[in-house]
């Protein structure tokens, strides 16, 4: 039964990726999926009593808002400490193995270590870009994608990711357009 469910989830993920690639090739932006697929999450969501002090400590240490860290955790893993993405990101804040190594993260599935490392990475990105939307874009697509685009990459998954988190933080804010609207000359 579990094997059949895993095959079904993998098929859905593959279908979503194909649809996004086709839409991107055609220059069409797709609507976000209901939630990001997490293939391996055989654990209950982390309890609020355990989560709250970990988020508060990381927020204080990295000078971040607790609601930002919570929004990233919710979007990345749905509060499942054992989550593993199809691309290999791990834990609550879905940290890629290479990033984990750079940050000195020993156990990506340990909630405290994962939140500390993910918050540290967010702080580094905020310091680098000086802009929350770009930092979130880099958290999702990688700093190289933001550096290459000079903005939030025009990748539907990344734009939906950034928009979703920005709306949680400040419901009136959304992702800025890919390229600024030209202003009339002489005005």
DSSP structure class, residue 151: S
Q: How far is residue 140's CA from residue 76's CA, in Å, rounded to a whole number?
A: 9
Helices (H), strands (E): how many in the chain? 8, 0
Q: How far is residue 148's CA from residue 145's CA, in Å, rounded to a whole number?
A: 5
CB 35 within 8 A of CB 94: no
In the residue annotation, 76 being an active-site residue is answered as yes
DSSP states along 94-106: TB-HHHHHHHT-S
Q: How far is residue 27's CA from residue 131's CA, in Å, rounded to a whole number?
A: 26
Q: Could you say which of 50, 56, 65, 76 is catalytic? A: 76
CB 43 within 8 A of CB 82: yes
Residues annotated catalytic, as ranges: 76
């Amino acid at each position: 039964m579990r094997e059949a469910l895993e095959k079904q989830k993998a098929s859905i993920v593959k279908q979503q990726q194909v649809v996004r690639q086709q839409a991107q090739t055609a220059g069409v932006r797709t609507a976000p999926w209901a939630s990001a697929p997490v293939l391996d999450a055989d654990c209950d969501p982390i309890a609020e009593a355990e989560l709250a002090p970990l988020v508060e400590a990381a927020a204080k240490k990295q000078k971040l808002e607790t609601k930002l860290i919570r929004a990233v955790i919710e979007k990345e893993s749905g509060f499942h400490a054992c989550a593993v993405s199809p691309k290999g990101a791990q834990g609550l804040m879905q940290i890629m193995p290479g990033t984990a190594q750079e940050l000195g993260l020993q156990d990506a599935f340990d909630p405290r270590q994962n939140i500390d490392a993910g918050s540290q990475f967010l702080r580094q990105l905020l310091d680098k870009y000086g802009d929350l939307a770009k930092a979130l874009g880099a958290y999702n697509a990688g700093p190289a994608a933001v550096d290459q685009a000079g903005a939030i990459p025009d990748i539907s998954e990344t734009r939906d990711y950034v928009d979703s988190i920005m709306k949680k933080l400040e419901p009136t804010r959304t992702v800025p357009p890919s390229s600024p609207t030209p202003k009339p000359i002489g005005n």
